């Protein structure tokens, strides 16, 4: 699958999954046509931004009409590789990890947690949300060729586990620990820091009383 490196801006790329899911919902609801204005209102993204984002992929709409939902959806399905499934490993079956195991990512999505690991022997062997928990010691043997990991371990373990993951061939990590892990250039990390997000919200509430963003 040719890496479609025609300079889609990162900001645009981050919105694609949102667009995809929303179009999918429209399709399920039986809507066959949609305008950038409607999309804008529903997704809270400026309509010009939506048109601009779509335009990076070519002329997907029709003037005076809008976008054909099915066509657009099919287009994004291909673009986002929704046909091939992406297996994911979850490391750390604590509260947050358990929540993800029960969370049905596959719903509108090509990603599925296939295997989980934890250091607590009492959790090993059990299945949570249909996913078997292995011991963290056996991680390398049970990872297979999975290249995406969700990291929900204690912060003290984060770097150590990261190093092992990378050695085992993982090239993408969704990091929920507060640790800013160090990885080679070739590995992509997205951080989601829940405490920071909450604190950031509070800061914005106090200091930016009226505007709205993101």
Partner DNA sequence: TACTTGTCGTGAAATTATTCACTTATTCAT
Partner DNA sequence: ATGAATAAGTGAATAATTTCACGACAAGTA
Closest approach of its own copies to the CB of residue 40, in Å: 10
Gap between the Cα atoms of 72 and 90, Å rounded: 32
* Closer to its own copies by Cβ: residue 18 or 48: 18
Q: What is the 3-class SS of 21-48, one letter each residue?
A: HHHHHHHHCCCCEECHHHHHHHHCCCHH
* Closer to its own copies by Cβ: residue 81 or 163: 81
* Closer to its own copies by Cβ: residue 17 or 66: 17
Binding mask 39-68 for DNA (x = CB under 7 A): -------xxxx-xx-xx---xxxxxxxxx-
Query: According to the annotation, is 110 in a ligand binding site?
Result: no
Query: According to the annotation, is 129 in a ligand binding site?
Result: no
Burial of 65 (0-12, 13-18, 19+ CB in 10 A): exposed
Per this entry, what is the length of the chain? 214
Residues numbered 8-37 forming contacts with DNA, rule: CB under 7 A: 9-12, 34-37
Residue 85 binds which entry of its own copies, DNA, none, with Cβ cut-offs from 5 to 8 Å by kind?
none
- Regarding 83 and contact with its own copies (CB under 8 A), the answer is no
Residue 65 binds which entry of DNA, its own copies, none, with Cβ cut-offs from 5 to 8 Å by kind?
DNA
Contact call for residues 115 and 141 (beta carbons, < 8 A)? no
Gap between the Cα atoms of 203 and 196, Å rounded: 10
Gap between the Cα atoms of 172 and 183, Å rounded: 10
Which residues would be at the binding site for DNA (CB under 7 A)?
9-12, 34-37, 46-49, 51-52, 54-55, 59-67
């Amino acid at each position: 699958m040719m890496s479609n490196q025609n300079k889609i801006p990162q900001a645009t790329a981050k919105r694609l999954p949102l667009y995809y899911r929303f179009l999918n919902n429209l399709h399920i609801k039986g809507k066959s046509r949609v305008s950038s204005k409607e999309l804008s209102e529903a997704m809270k993204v400026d309509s010009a931004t939506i048109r601009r984002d779509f335009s990076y992929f070519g002329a997907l709409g029709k003037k005076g009409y809008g976008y054909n939902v099915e066509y657009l959806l099919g287009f994004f399905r291909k673009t986002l590789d929704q046909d091939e499934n992406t297996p994911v490993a979850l490391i750390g079956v604590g509260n947050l990890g358990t929540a993800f195991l029960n969370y049905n990512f596959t719903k509108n999505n090509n990603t599925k947690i296939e295997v989980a690991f934890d250091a607590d022997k009492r959790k090993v062997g059990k299945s949570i949300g249909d996913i078997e928990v292995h011991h963290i010691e056996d991680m390398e043997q049970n990872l297979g060729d999975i290249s995406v990991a969700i990291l929900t371990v204690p912060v003290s373990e984060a770097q150590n586990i990261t190093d092992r993951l990378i050695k085992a061939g993982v090239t993408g990590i969704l990091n929920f620990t507060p640790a800013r892990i160090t990885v080679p250039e070739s590995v992509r990390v997205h951080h989601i820091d829940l405490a920071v997000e909450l604190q950031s919200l509070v800061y914005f509430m106090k200091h930016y009383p009226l505007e709205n963003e993101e």
